[in-house]
């Protein structure tokens, strides 16, 4: 099968690489020449476990190539994936301009029958627009071949994207065309040998499924964060409540972890885009608005705990921060709670010493533009961050933060406060060692 993937960002790159795993020939297109050159040498622009190995072996096997030329990549491709960015605009709406401009280029460049597949997360109706843009151009060219436009949203989790692609929970195929459905079934069959979880539906339904899924995940998190706050005021440990709730099969355990608030490039953006979709139809999406508001408030919770503990006297305090990525397994810091925390702490006069296994370079770049960049220091090792610290805040639950040697931490730190933004630790154990412990939803 010959496949073109437009966009070598997170989704495009994972899609392209994982498609080669089954023997497909894939050409991945990106406008950024430097990125394409680096990818040709097997150098990854992002950190994603397992991805580099697949890319390098596919390059060596001649199954994968990267180019800046959309035209050459899509010539005689059976499938063309659109996986370009759909960033959030200032008003929360999804910016689909890159998707639509790819559609225009495809209308001009396709040379044969093809299935065009939208992987980018796009608002309902975008697939219809892509289709009419392509068909319009094909008509102008008097092209006599058939192009189907399918919505096939991605459900990859950063940090586990390769596994999610190779053994998906479900694959959503949005198209009314029997031919396109069959072609998509053939493409994905090797990934569904253990259980056939392909769901066929209309294109608009597929687009909505993607947003509704992410919004549901976000809603569960915000719900639990609200319950966590209530627990703090009722002298209840939310961790027991979480386990008790999750044991109900109808509720399940996933996405019930309260914490520092959800971040990343998807949940915050998709919730806001769905709110905007409602607004465009004069609907008040009150649940989703609350989900978003709760999350913004949640990102202040760790700061508030520090502020209260130090009676507002944060000036000159040394705060160690463990974890900068929006979640473990990635170097992505988009909408990461650590950024808000650090900004607020520095504004209040604190100094930060931060550590993250892979996200420090991105964070350093992020803060470089701030006038107070010098107050945020990065160290190569978690224990180095706590030396002389008045408090330690754990923001991202990387495995290596889960069982530190608390006694050496105690000796290295100047103060005794640990703010556990992910409820990793046992408060009684830490108190016995001499720490003041603050989790989320377990104390005040």
Q: How many residues bind ligand UGA (CB under 6 A)?
A: 20
- In the chain, DSSP finds a helix count (H) and a strand count (E) of 18, 14
In terms of CB distance, is 42 or 50 closer to ligand UGA? 50
Ligand-binding site membership of 205 (annotated): no
Q: Which residues pair with 57 in a beta bridge?
A: none
The string of DSSP letters for 136-198 reads HHHHHTT--S-EEEEE----PPTTSHHHHHHS-S-EEEE-S-HHHHHHHHHHHGGGGSS---E
**What is the SS3 string spanning 298-355?**
HCCHHHHHHHHHCCCCCCCCEEEEECCCCCCCCCCCCCCHHHHHHHHHHHCCCEEEEE
What's the CA gap between 175 and 327, in Å, rounded?
34
- What are the residues facing 28 on neighbouring strands? 5, 66
Contacting residue, 2, 35, 93, 157, with ligand UGA by CB under 6 A? 157
Pairing between strand 79-82 and 2-6? parallel
Stretch touching ligand UGA by CB under 6 A, among 183-191, 259-267, 305-313, 341-349: 259-267
Residues 92-111, interacting with ligand UGA (CB under 6 A)? none
256 binds ligand UGA (CB under 6 A): yes
Consecutive H or E run containing 102 = helix 97-109
Q: With CB under 6 A as the contact rule, which of the stretches 15-23, 86-94, 130-138, 252-260 interacts with ligand UGA?
A: 252-260
- Is 257 known as a binding-site position? yes
Q: Where are the beta strands (DSSP E) in 41-127?
A: 64-67, 79-82, 114-118
* Adjacent-strand bridge partners of 319: 352, 391
- Among this protein's residues, is 231 annotated catalytic? no
Which of residues 158 and 356 has its CB atom nearest to ligand UGA in the complex?
158
Strand, helix or coil at 231? Answer: helix
Q: Which is nearer to ligand UGA, 113 or 205 (CB)?
A: 205
On whether 378 is known to bind a ligand per the annotation, the reply is no
Nearer to ligand UGA, 415 or 439 (CB): 439
Stretch that binds ligand UGA, among 18-26, 34-42, 261-269, 362-370 (CB under 6 A): 261-269
When asked if residue 206 is in the footprint of ligand UGA (CB under 6 A), the reply is: no
Residue from 264, 382, 415, 421 that binds ligand UGA (CB under 6 A)?
264
Only one of the segments 21-29, 213-221, 314-322, 345-353 lies at the binding site for ligand UGA (rule: CB under 6 A); that segment is: 213-221
Q: Tell me which of 18, 28, 94, 266 is the catalytic residue.
A: 266
Exactly one of 188, 191, 326, 401 binds ligand UGA (CB under 6 A); which one? 326
Nearer to ligand UGA, 25 or 422 (CB): 422
How far apart CA 320 and CA 443 sit, in angstroms, is 21
Residue 48 makes CB contacts below 8 A (sequence gap 6+) with: 10, 13, 14, 158, 159, 161, 162, 330
Q: Is 215 in the site for ligand UGA (CB under 6 A)?
A: no
Q: Give the nearer residue to ligand UGA in terms of CB position, either 327 or 416.
A: 327
Kindly state the smallest distance separating residue 140's Cβ from ligand UGA, in Å: 35
207 binds ligand UGA (CB under 6 A): no
Distance, in Å, from the CA atom of 114 to the CA atom of 77, rounded to the nearest integer, reads: 7
Q: What is the set of active-site residues? A: 266
């Amino acid at each position: 099968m010959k496949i073109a993937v437009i966009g070598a960002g997170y989704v495009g790159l994972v899609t392209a690489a994982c498609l080669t795993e089954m023997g497909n020939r894939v050409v991945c297109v990106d406008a950024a020449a430097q990125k394409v050159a680096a990818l040709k040498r097997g150098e990854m622009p992002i950190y994603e476990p397992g991805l580099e190995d697949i890319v390098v072996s596919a390059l060596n096997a001649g199954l994968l190539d990267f180019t800046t030329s959309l035209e050459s990549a899509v010539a005689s491709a059976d499938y063309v994936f659109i996986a370009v960015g759909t960033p959030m605009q200032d008003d929360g709406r999804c910016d689909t301009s890159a998707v639509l401009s790819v559609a225009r280029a495809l209308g001009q460049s396709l040379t044969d029958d093809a299935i065009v597949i939208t992987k980018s997360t796009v608002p309902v109706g975008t697939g219809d627009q892509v289709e009419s843009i392509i068909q319009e151009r094909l008509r102008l060219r008097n092209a006599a071949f058939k192009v189907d436009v399918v919505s096939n949203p991605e459900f990859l989790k950063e940090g586990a994207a390769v596994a999610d692609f190779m053994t998906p929970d479900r694959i959503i195929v949005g198209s009314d065309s029997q031919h396109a459905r069959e072609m998509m079934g053939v493409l994905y069959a090797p990934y569904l040998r253990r259980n056939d979880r392909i769901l066929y539906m209309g294109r608009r339904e597929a687009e909505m499924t993607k947003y509704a899924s992410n919004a549901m995940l976000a809603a569960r998190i915000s719900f639990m964060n609200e319950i966590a706050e209530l627990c703090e005021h009722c002298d209840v440990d939310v961790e027991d409540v979480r386990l008790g709730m999750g044991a109900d099969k109808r509720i399940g355990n996933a996405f019930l972890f309260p914490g520092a608030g959800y971040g990343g490039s998807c949940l915050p953006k998709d919730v806001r885009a769905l709110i905007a979709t409602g607004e465009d139809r004069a609907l008040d999406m009150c649940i989703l608005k609350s989900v978003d508001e709760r999350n913004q408030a949640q990102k202040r919770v760790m700061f508030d705990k520090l502020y209260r503990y130090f009676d507002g006297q944060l000036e000159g305090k040394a705060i160690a921060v463990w974890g900068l990525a929006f979640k473990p397994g990635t170097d992505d810091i988009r909408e990461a709670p650590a950024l808000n925390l650090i900004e607020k702490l520095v504004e209040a006069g604190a100094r930060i010493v931060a550590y993250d296994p892979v996200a420090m370079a991105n964070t350093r770049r992020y803060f470089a533009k701030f006038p107070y960049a010098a107050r945020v220091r990065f160290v190569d090792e978690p224990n180095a961050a706590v030396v002389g610290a008045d408090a330690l805040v754990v923001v991202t639950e990387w495995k290596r933060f889960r069982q530190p040697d608390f006694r050496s931490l105690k000796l290295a730190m100047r103060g005794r406060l640990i703010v556990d933004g992910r409820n990793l630790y046992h408060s009684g154990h830490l108190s016995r060692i001499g720490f003041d412990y603050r989790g989320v939803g377990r104390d005040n």
